[in-house]
Amino acid sequence: MTAKEVLKIAKENKARMVDMKFLDFIGIWQHFSIPINQLKEDVFEEGLGFDGSSIRGWQPIHASDMLVVPDPETAVMDPFTETPTLSLICNIVDPITRESYSRDPRTIAQKAEAYLKSTGIGDVAYFGPEPEFFILDDVRYSQGSDHGFYFIDSVEGTWNTGKDEAPNLGYKPRHKEGYFPVPPTDSQEDIRTEMCLVMEQVGIEIERQHHEVATAGQAEIDMKFDSLVRMGDKLMWFKYIVKNVAKRWRKTATFMPKPIFGDNGSGMHTHQSIWKGGKPLFAGSLYGGMSELAMYYIGGILKHARALNAFCNPGTNSYRRLVPGFEAPINLAYSSRNRSASIRIPMYSPSPKAKRIEVRFPDPSCNGYLAFAAMLMAGLDGVKNKIDPGEPLDKDIYGLSPEELSKVPSAAGSLEEALDALTCDHEFLLKGDVFTQDVIDTWIEYKKDKEADPVRLRPVPYEFTLYFDC
């Protein structure tokens, strides 16, 4: 799509404003808006200025000037604004060098795609994430030197079976029994459907939606796979739409991996494959119908999994989900059909085009551009270095004896462990200048200083239950 075509779309839709969206380093959309008469063709080349020092993890104040350069391919009408508004996703550019900004997550994803092509291994990497989330009715939290608490609630919460709701109609999914019940137990069919329809308005093809395993409104909506950068864009639209449709219904939605104790957390199983010249490269005659290239790709993911956790499971709360005893995998193994393995080979279809792997440890709190790029780089490292993934594990991992389990490596058990792993294992990310050393160092520093240490230093409510009378 050209700049002229974008202006034509704006005119046809009677747009009066233009919204410039871009992602901060951590993974939250930022934006500012301009009147439609300020959108000229040269904006798509010259960009618009903003203060980069006010964005998390970006520029120091003495070098704060940055440019947003809108990508014309991303033009759609924003489905939530009262005034007709054209939306554009932007890349970040240095105003002096005119080079892409190395800490811009979308730039990193674009460089990962370019690196794939430069290797000659393939020309497109497809990603199909399955983000899970909770739709809640109330959330309150506060933290101070003298207190700390959170409170969440859902009309679906199994803890509300005894609540006087004038009247209480029951039909609340029990813990771990929220997968696929029909209404009235599933009370959120209509809200999820509205989310799907709005997603289709912005060009996201939806494959299915359903209630997920946990009580209290856990949901999943599945998008059709797409190339890395496009799927990064779609994941941002996905989160934006889920949150804003929930707000329309006077509800709130969260992609926090583990907001509820004692029930399943929210993961983001991520399907991926590599193609070349329009042909799938993961189909073959080896285990699970996979090719040798696919097995090496699996080997790369497994080898670098603990470093990948730093991007795919980027918060302290991520590791409340990655614990033994739940469906979320902590053991680094691969299998066909076995959902307790961290990498699964889906067996739904014999078609070569359907051959892919499903990496099961990521969660939806991640920055999609960075997580997808990191997984691709790990997989490509496996292909280039012919990393053997070992034997498949077709048993129930959680049913293994301690002796058998000791032979299966584990994912990181905390954000600190993941960041330490990334410190020691990131050379594969630097290939092709996809991730720079500055990006790695800044990510580790930010996550330690702003997230891991503050959580580590604060008492949590349950500690009063354990220790107040000591």
Q: Which amino acids are annotated catalytic?
A: 51, 130, 132, 212, 220, 269, 339, 358, 360
How far apart are the C-alpha atoms of 346 and 327, rounded to whole Å?
16
- DSSP H helices in 181-256: 189-201, 228-248
How far apart are the C-alpha atoms of 438 and 440, rounded to whole Å?
5
How far apart are the C-alpha atoms of 100 and 102, rounded to whole Å?
6
How far apart are the C-alpha atoms of 384 and 118, rounded to whole Å?
12
How far apart are the C-alpha atoms of 11 and 1, rounded to whole Å?
15
Please compute, for residue 57, the number of CA atoms within 13 A of its CA located in the half-sphere on the CB side.
25
β-strand pairing of 343-345 with 357-359: antiparallel
Number of H helices and E strands in the chain, helices first, is: 15, 18
Q: Is the dihedral of CA 398, 403, 404, 407 positive or negative?
A: positive
From 439, 330, 321, select the one nearest 374 (Cα to Cα).
Answer: 439
Q: Is the dihedral of CA 177, 180, 182, 184 positive or negative?
A: positive
How far apart are the C-alpha atoms of 350 and 17, rounded to whole Å?
48
**DSSP assignment, residue 317?**
T
Residue for token digits 């393939």? 122
- Bridge partners of 231? none
How far apart are the C-alpha atoms of 7 and 5, rounded to whole Å?
5
In a 10 Å sphere around its CB, with 0-12 CB exposed, 13-18 middle and 19+ buried, how is residue 405 labelled?
A: middle
Distance between alpha carbon 103 and the CA centroid of its chain, in Å?
A: 18
From 258, 257, 410, select the one nearest 324 (Cα to Cα).
Answer: 410
Sequence-ordered list of residues with C-beta below 8 angstroms from that of 162, at least 6 positions apart, any chain:
168
How far apart are the C-alpha atoms of 387 and 376, rounded to whole Å?
14
CA 403 vs CA 13, 399, 400, 406, 407: distances in Å: 64, 11, 8, 5, 7
415-424 and 437-447 helices, crossing angle to 10°: 160
3-state secondary structure of 79: coil
Look up residue 368 and give its two tokens.
Answer: 């999609």
